[in-house]
Amino acid sequence: MSATGPALLVAAAGVGFGHAVLPDHWVPLAVLGRTRRYSLSRLARVSGLAGVAHVLVSIALGALIIAVGLPFRSAVQHIQDAIVGGVLIVTGVGFIALRRAGRGHSADHSHNADHSHNADHDHRIAHEHHHDHHGGRGLVALVVPFGAAASPDLTILPVFLAATTAGLATAAGSLIVFAAITVATIVGLTLAAARGAYRIHGEWIERWSNLLTGAVLGLIGLLILLGVI
């Protein structure tokens, strides 16, 4: 490894950490874990897979940009932000609509049912949870990791290109360090945030889980679309 190798490895680690701490990579995953009651081990697997996918997409897109020319980097990143942001916004709106539909259906059912106030309340909560389970669980479990994975980090390109001039070992090492720090940061922040959220208890969490998930997805998608994160 050349004399500049250690500095380039540190730079790769800094790039990986600096991008992975952005909220679009771990906040939706933490919300997913809390609202869907994932165990920490399951959430670690989901966030780990999202982190690995994020690294692979970043490397693949970086290779494509190098192949077609660096001047296309801003255009590619703009298109990527539009796609990822748009998908998250649409999904967030869908979850909010799903919550409203569940409330309307529950209100109609309770109007026709002959139950006491407490029994009707319990039935409505159970029905909304059942509706959320079949209508939203599968979708959010796919889209949220997609949002974390499909927002690649192109800031590694300058570091990688500099590393290639220092030798194959430095170039490979920069990618390995970038990947390890990125995945570790995403998993660590996701678990830390979710563990804190697990301490929050209350019926309102269960009742408003779709609304909460939709609002977070929509906000993160809007910030991506506007280029804020």
The whole-angstrom separation of Cα 155 and Cα 87 is: 23
Residue pLDDT, tens place only, 67-77: 777 667 677 77
Q: Sign (positive/negative) of CA torsion 100, 102, 104, 106?
A: negative
C-alpha dist (Å) from residue 119 to 59, 112, 122, 124, 126 = 55, 13, 5, 9, 11
For residue 70, the model assigns a pLDDT of: 63
Give the residue from 187, 177, 152, 160 showing the smallest Cα distance to 13: 177
**Residues ≥6 apart with Cβ < 8 Å to 153:** 15, 16, 19, 20, 54, 58, 178, 182
Cβ atoms of 185 and 52 within 8 Å: the answer is no
Tokens standing for 130? 């059942």
pTM score, whole prediction: 0.72
With left for phi above 0 and alpha for psi between -120 and 50, is residue 37 left, alpha or beta? left
The secondary structure of 16-65 as a DSSP string is: HHHHHTSGGGTHHHHHHHHHTT--HHHHHHHHHHHHHHHHHHHHHHHHHH
Report pLDDT for 134.
45
At residue 146, the pLDDT reads 64
Q: What pLDDT is recorded for position 129?
A: 45
Under-50 pLDDT residues of the chain: 105-135
Determine phi and psi for 2, rounding to 5 degrees: -75, 175
Radius of gyration of the chain (CA): 21
pLDDT at 98: 63
Which position has the token pair 């408003």?
Answer: 208
